[in-house]
Chain A
């Protein structure tokens, strides 16, 4: 679901990015006001969870791959606004460090995965939880919330892909950016997510919420005991398991490189050309492209990337937490 650069026109990126700016502004304000300094590192742990969950690629029908996002999970654990911040930072890290998702398309990716996904998921969860007052009701809310959250995000990504050929064509009528219209992109993105990725998301969300409820309920409910050590343990376990994501070999739909796209088969025939905007578009060299380190086996590179991503996210929010602490001390003292 990470839209690479040059699949969306720069104007689309600008519009969606601009839509994201007020969301970020509100989110930063809310987090500043509502999240205590002690809870700040949890945002980092959440971002690390999401980062790792996104590394578990699953093969999807149609020869492509996909992954869960964990957005609803973060929204349930931290609240939707904090989830928005955590997911944004995780996506930014993926774009800058690992070349997963474009730099220009960052706004669009953030809109789909850091805004729509956690909010849709969270409100469905809340809606059901408030009406069915039992443990089963809560888990039903979690499952449905996460299922519809990720599918809403996939649908939006498909719409963003699909409007490109309608809006941007060269003189010969060939699409400049993403070549697939809505009639192709929506089924291609949404059906696999409805059938497989949605359930993977539900699985991750329910399993992790259940785990946290058992070992550290203080994260979910005020006043209960809160332990962060099991969370770090869970992160370590996810890191060790992350190479499972390498088993799914295809490229995710809409994430082909510019050298791949001409050979992509859809509806029985290959595309046969490389859209102009992709051939000579914006390109960015990330430090560890595609989670592979030169000179290391794929599995080692993947684990190393997982450790690096999780560590950077935890460090970042720990530092933010410590800076925040100094500020409140200055005000009171």
Chain B
């Protein structure tokens, strides 16, 4: 038995700061888990045709931004709160958290204008921002992403945009997993104080870039092999349900209220 094996070792690794790696890992995990959770979304709540949802959400945002009537803004906010009641508690919490955070930020940004006597913008823009963020978040929380890309197709968006959007959403997930693994390995291999940790980050980014290029090429050829010509077609029967009808009626009412309140 060699002598060095019998000797007691007491190597204590030097402390190192891991906060930045930990933070990157956490934020990556946050994005990934959101995308993964999308797979589990049930569509039985707000089961409205996604095309209608996307279309009317855009319309709502446009109406909100051009409206000059405070009553209309309040009306839309009340409508959105009532619609929010149909979602689950966790989703409501997530949506409202974002909305309140953004509205509070807007409020603070606009606060100086109040000191100069301009109450109009703070009274109008804060609730408008609140309503817009709530509407868009409700769309994203109650609709799967592939349903949204499908809906975009119905609005005559060129196929190349849909291709890019589709691949991006899928690849955010895949590349996220890769970079997560690279960050983990960087963390595991840095025993003690590792001064090169920050320089390794450019390595992570570079590898990601090469990887994404390879994967994109591979996928595109695989798609071509399976007969993809760059054209998207929808094979979906359009079913017109009672929920769709209700949804259209509500938005007709909103447009009517908008015209009624803005004509003055």
Contacts and interface: CB of A to CB of B under 8 A. Distances in A.
Interface of A: 41, 232, 288, 293-296, 304, 307-308, 310-312, 314-315, 318-319, 321-323, 325
A174 to B, nearest CB: 37
* A contact patch SS: helix
Contacts of A41: 89
Nearest to B83: A311
Nearest to B74: A293
A311 B89 contact: no
A311 B77 CA distance: 11
Contacts, number: 57
B81 A315 contact: yes
13 contacts: A293-B71, A293-B75, A294-B70, A295-B69, A295-B261, A304-B74, A308-B77, A310-B82, A311-B82, A318-B88, A319-B89, A322-B89, A323-B89
Contact of B92 (A310, A318, A325): A318
Contacts of B69: 295
A323 B84 CA distance: 17
A315 B83 CA distance: 10
B261 A322 contact: no
B82 A307 contact: yes
B89 A318 contact: yes
Contacts of A294: 70-71
Interface string B71-108: 10011011101101100111011001000000000000
Nearest to B261: A295
A321 B89 contact: yes
Given A293-B71, A294-B70, A295-B261, A322 B78 contact: no
Nearest to B90: A322
Given A294-B70, A304-B75, A308-B81, 14 more contacts: A294-B71, A295-B71, A307-B78, A308-B82, A310-B82, A311-B84, A314-B85, A315-B84, A318-B89, A319-B93, A322-B88, A322-B93, A323-B89, A325-B89
Residue among A288, A293, A296 with the highest chain B CB neighbour number at 10 A: A296
Contact of B93 (A304, A308, A312, A323): A323
